[in-house]
Amino acid sequence: MSFSSKPFMKNRLASVLALAAVVGLMAGMVGCASSAASPLPPTPRLRVATTTSLYDTGLWGYLEPMFEKKYKVEVDILSLGSGAAFEYAKRGDVDVLTIHDKPNELKFVSDNYGVERVPFAYNYFLIVGPGSDPAGIKGMDPEAAFKKLMGTGKGAFVSRGDNSGTHSKERTIWKNAGFDYEAVRKAGAWYVESGQGMGQTLQMASEKQAYTLTDMGTYVSYKSKLELVPLVDKGSILLNVYSVIAVNPQKVTVVKNLQMANNMISFLTSPDIQQLIGKYGVKDYGLQLFTPCAGSEPG
């Protein structure tokens, strides 16, 4: 090897570069290649933007293969806060939304971005916090609890701060408790915005021994990793409804998957799947995470 001549070296280096180019190009095609490997036309894909709570609890991971099998489609699930999910939908980058932010959902539909809002399951929000409950809010109404948090200044509160459905609910509670949200944000060091998903926010609250507002599904599935207990769980404002909305191709013209999106809606509201949603997690966590409510508003 040591007596390789210079021209040979040069050729070899050149061929290494050429090979590199070819390998690179081939590998670059990997995305297209994997779906185009079969002689049949590529499997259609349906893009769903979901709120993190339906993903982090594992519900989507459980339902996805069933839908894919039934309708011969690849489902791409993007787990996002509801705020981001709306943005993706308006740009036409997703075909369906599964979210929990009623006021913004209604606006999304009335602005014609969404075809129809179809509720398919619900549970409740909870205010959780340290067992010592320094502000003494246990068993109160949510609005009264928030007033007390503000009044006593005892105990920190971690907010999602990310325009998610949960964050939207938190702001509604502050408003109903009589506070301007901007004032709440500036109220003091006790009010913390995590800017992260529900799971991370719960972990942060647990580390800081702070209060936070959470959906029940995520709390229950994270419970074993947290040092937080439910403190406030009563009050009609805590109702948490999950809806499915197909993006409207008449408004968002780049969306072309309405039929498959409608299949998704029929799937989620079908009696079989509704029953599975109702049973989901019962075995692992000992209680129901989601109550099915096909097509109608609960409460």
Partner 1 sequence: MVEIWHGLTRAVQLIVTLDPEVMAIAGLSLRIAISSTLLAAVICLPLSSLIHFQNFRGKRSLISLIQTFYSIPTVTVGLLVFVLFSRSGPLGGLNLLFTPTVMVIGQIILVTPILLGLTISALSGVDRTITDTARSLGASGWQAAWVVLREARFAVMAAVILGFGRAISEVGLAIMVGGNIRGFTRVITTAISLETSKGDWELSMALGIILIIIALVINIALNRIQQR
Rounded to an integer, what distance in angstroms lies between the CA atom of residue 39 and that of residue 18? 29
Q: Which of residues 204-223 bind partner 1 (CB under 8 A)?
A: 222
Nearer to partner 1, 1 or 287 (CB): 1
List phi, psi (to 5°) of 221. Answer: -75, -15
Under the criterion CB under 8 A, does residue 142 sit at the interface with partner 1? no
Residue selected from 200, 209, 270, 291 as contacting partner 1 according to rule CB under 8 A: 200
Residue selected from 62, 66, 91, 131 as contacting partner 1 according to rule CB under 8 A: 91
Instruction: Pick the stretch among 124-132, 194-202, 230-238, 271-279 that binds partner 1 (CB under 8 A).
Output: 194-202
Under the criterion CB under 8 A, does residue 36 sit at the interface with partner 1? no
C-alpha closest to that of 51 among 224, 193, 207, 245:
245
> Which residues are paired to 117 by β-bridges?
245
Residue selected from 8, 44, 61, 116 as contacting partner 1 according to rule CB under 8 A: 61
Under the criterion CB under 8 A, does residue 17 sit at the interface with partner 1? yes
Under the criterion CB under 8 A, does residue 20 sit at the interface with partner 1? yes
C-alpha closest to that of 113 among 257, 217, 249:
249
C-alpha closest to that of 190 among 160, 217, 225, 156:
156
Strands (E), the chain: 45-51, 74-80, 96-99, 114-129, 157-159, 191-193, 211-215, 229-232, 239-247, 291-292
Residues forming contacts to partner 1 in the complex (CB under 8 A) are 1, 9-10, 13, 16-17, 20-21, 23-25, 27-32, 34, 47, 52, 56, 61, 64, 74, 76-79, 91-93, 196-197, 199-200, 203, 222, 225, 252, 254-255
